[in-house]
């Protein structure tokens, strides 16, 4: 059996990037179309369907409902199995309410029979009932997630003879990330599952043989790798236990130096060519005993700001602050 795996769509009305909402809708249509053309009937979704929490614009709400209505009408054989992420929530995500969160995933599961919320649950995703997907929604506290992982791994251990996948939306421990980690991909509890697919981190990559970051179908912003990162979706094969990446070609977010040519089909931000002079400042220049004026002058020195007119403006503003 083959399963399409995707995550972190972050649907929103981005005022600075007006076509991004259209791009992600188009990418979703591409994924449903791929499933139809390749006899795939299950889509696993790893969280963060919309970008905002309690203040999702009405326009976005209507567009999302319209999107899924069109997709399920056109492809009634396809089912989505989804967990809630840290975006699209209507309340704090804690373990006590994890199986019934107020979230966008819950809303869609109540609206469409083909959309299934698996927060702290499990679901057969094949007609023969030999493939099961388990889900843990994003949980704000690391301790809650640890307990949730024990609950789901214990359930999976009792399911003999089934192919088992786990969807999570947390921060795993791996070398190239600078955020506090929530879970260790080498935790033995994960070995109960044939594969773990993790949303939340927008970088697609395998971490262990059975633990993978899903990545995003389109880039969200300028901190997501520019031209060096390809975005798309995964197709997981339960027979080979391998993911295959499929690229989607949508505009990337690229930074260029001022005056350099802009890459085509990209959101571009120009960076100024000015490089500030770094001047060494001593710790003593920033102690509590110094006056506010002295500290501001020391800060300007440390930043390489030597223009006295600029410094005078800062001192004038500072004089008006109590």
CB 279 within 8 A of CB 299: no
Percent of the chain at pLDDT > 90 equals: 62
Q: Check if CATH label 3.60.21.10 holds for domain 2-254.
A: yes
Please tell me the pTM assigned to this model.
Answer: 0.83
pLDDT tier at 200 (50, 70, 90 boundaries)?
A: very high
**How does 171-209 read in b/e, with b if 16+ C-beta sit within 10 Å?**
bbebeeeeeeebbebeeebbebbbbbbbbbbbebeebee
pLDDT at 192: 96
- CB-count exposure of residue 14 (10 Å: 0-12, 13-18, 19+): middle
Higher pLDDT, 280 or 211: 211
pLDDT tier at 36 (50, 70, 90 boundaries)?
A: very high
CB 47 within 8 A of CB 86: yes
pLDDT for residue 291 is more than 90: no
pLDDT tier at 287 (50, 70, 90 boundaries)?
A: low
What is the arrangement of strands in the sheet containing 205-208, beginning at the earlier edge strand?
Answer: 122-124, 131-135, 163-168, 195-198, 211-213, 205-208
Segment 164-191 mean pLDDT: 89
pLDDT in tens, 48-70: 999 988 888 899 999 999 999 99
pLDDT for residue 322 is more than 60: no
Task: State the Cα–Cα distance between residues 269 and 83, nearest whole angstrom.
Answer: 34
Higher pLDDT, 277 or 196: 196
pLDDT in tens, 126-147: 777 789 999 999 999 999 999 9
pLDDT at 283: 58
Q: How many CA atoms lie within 13 A of 53 on its CB side?
A: 10
pLDDT in tens, 233-272: 999 999 999 999 999 999 999 999 888 999 998 999 888 8
Higher pLDDT, 153 or 178: 153
pLDDT tier at 306 (50, 70, 90 boundaries)?
A: confident
Q: Which residues does 316 contact at the CB level (< 8 Å), separation at least 6?
A: none
pLDDT at 277: 54
HEC string of 32-88 equals HHHHHHCCCCEEEECCCCECCCCCCCHHHHHHHHHHHHHHHHHCCCCEEEECCCCCC
The mean pLDDT of the chain is 89
pLDDT at 53: 82
- Domain limits of the chain? 2-254, 283-319
pLDDT for residue 215 is more than 60: yes
Task: State the Cα–Cα distance between residues 43 and 123, nearest whole angstrom.
Answer: 12
pLDDT at 285: 60
For CA atoms 153, 84, 32, 249, the dihedral sign is negative
- Interhelix angle 292-302/308-319, nearest 10 degrees: 150
pLDDT in tens, 110-126: 999 999 999 999 988 87
């Amino acid at each position: 059996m083959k399963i399409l795996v995707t995550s972190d769509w972050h649907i929103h009305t981005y005022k600075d990037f007006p076509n991004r909402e259209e791009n992600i809708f188009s990418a979703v249509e591409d994924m449903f179309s791929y499933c139809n053309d390749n006899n795939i009937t299950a889509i696993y979704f790893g969280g963060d369907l919309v970008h905002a929490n309690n203040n999702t614009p009405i326009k976005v709400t209507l567009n999302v409902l319209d999107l899924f209505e069109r997709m399920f009408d056109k492809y009634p054989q396809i089912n989505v199995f989804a967990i809630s992420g840290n975006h699209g929530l209507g309340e704090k995500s804690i373990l006590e309410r994890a199986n019934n969160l107020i979230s966008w995933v819950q809303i869609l599961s109540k609206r469409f029979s083909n959309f299934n919320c698996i927060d702290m649950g499990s679901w057969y995703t094949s007609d023969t009932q030999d493939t099961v997907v388990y889900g843990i929604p994003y949980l704000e506290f690391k301790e809650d997630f640890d307990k949730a992982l024990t609950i789901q791994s214990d359930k999976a251990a009792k399911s003999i003879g089934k192919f088992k996948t786990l969807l999570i939306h947390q921060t795993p421990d791996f070398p190239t990330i600078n955020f506090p980690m929530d879970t260790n991909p080498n935790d033995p509890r994960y070995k109960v599952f044939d594969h773990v697919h993790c949303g939340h981190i927008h970088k697609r990559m395998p971490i262990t043989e059975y633990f993978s970051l899903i990545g995003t179908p389109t880039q969200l912003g300028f901190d997501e790798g520019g031209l060096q990162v390809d975005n798309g979706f995964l197709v997981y094969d339960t027979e080979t236990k391998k993911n295959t990446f499929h690229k989607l070609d949508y505009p990337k977010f690229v930074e260029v130096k001022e005056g350099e040519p802009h890459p085509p089909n990209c959101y571009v931000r120009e960076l100024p060519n000015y490089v500030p002079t770094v001047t060494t400042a001593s710790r003593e220049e920033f102690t509590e005993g110094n006056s506010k004026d002295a500290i501001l002058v020391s800060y300007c020195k440390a930043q390489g700001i030597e223009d006295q007119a600029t410094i005078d403006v800062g001192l004038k503003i500072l004089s008006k602050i109590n």
